[in-house]
Amino acid sequence: MDAEDTQHDPLRDAREAALRRISELRQRSAAPIEPAGPDLRTLLARSERHVDELRRSASELAAILPTRVEAAVARALGEDEGGLGRRIDHVVDQSGRLSAAVERVENDLLSERMARVEDLEVLVGLVSGGLTSLRADLRAVQRELAELRAARPAGRRAAR
């Protein structure tokens, strides 16, 4: 083995690391153990105090909360300050007004449609009358043309 292989021997490095770890663990086990936290009795006394505080708070809330909830419900439903009943009446009134407005718009649209249909009927009548008159005029022109052809001398027909 050359000098470079002896310096980087992985087996020797692993052995040294293991020995260091063993010595660290021995030093830790030889050191006196410190208590991890406060005494169990101290913890129990502290938690009993917290439980007592929670009991007091719960009893205070049990005495106060029903009256506060009752007052809030009374305020919400009360008629004096524009409560729920008055608001519902207002909503019913507004919905009635809205329904009437929609009905008016509906009637306006219907009458507008009927007026357009009537306008179309007039236009169809005018166009139909115009076409009837035009056909009558065409028939008259055809009759006159036929009469002119019949009145025309036979000699002129041959010259053509």
How many Cα neighbours within 13 Å face the side chain of 134? Answer: 6
Tell me the average pLDDT across 96-115.
95
Say if residue 79's pLDDT is above 90: no
Say if residue 133's pLDDT is above 90: yes
Show the tokens assigned to 25: 């663990």
C-alpha to C-alpha distance for 116 and 109, rounded to whole angstroms: 11
Question: According to the model, what pLDDT value does residue 11 have?
Answer: 81
Q: Residue 75 in contact with residue 81, Cβ under 8 Å?
A: yes
Q: How far is CA 150 from CA 103, 139, 140, 154, in A?
A: 70, 16, 15, 9
Q: Residue 53 in contact with residue 45, Cβ under 8 Å?
A: no
With tokens 């020995």, the residue in question is: 19
pLDDT more than 90, % of the chain = 37
CB atoms inside a 10 Å sphere around CB 83: 14
Backbone angles phi, psi at 5, to 5 degrees: -70, -35
* Size of the chain, expressed as the number of residues it contains: 160
Question: According to the model, what pLDDT value does residue 112 have?
Answer: 95
Amino acid at 125: G
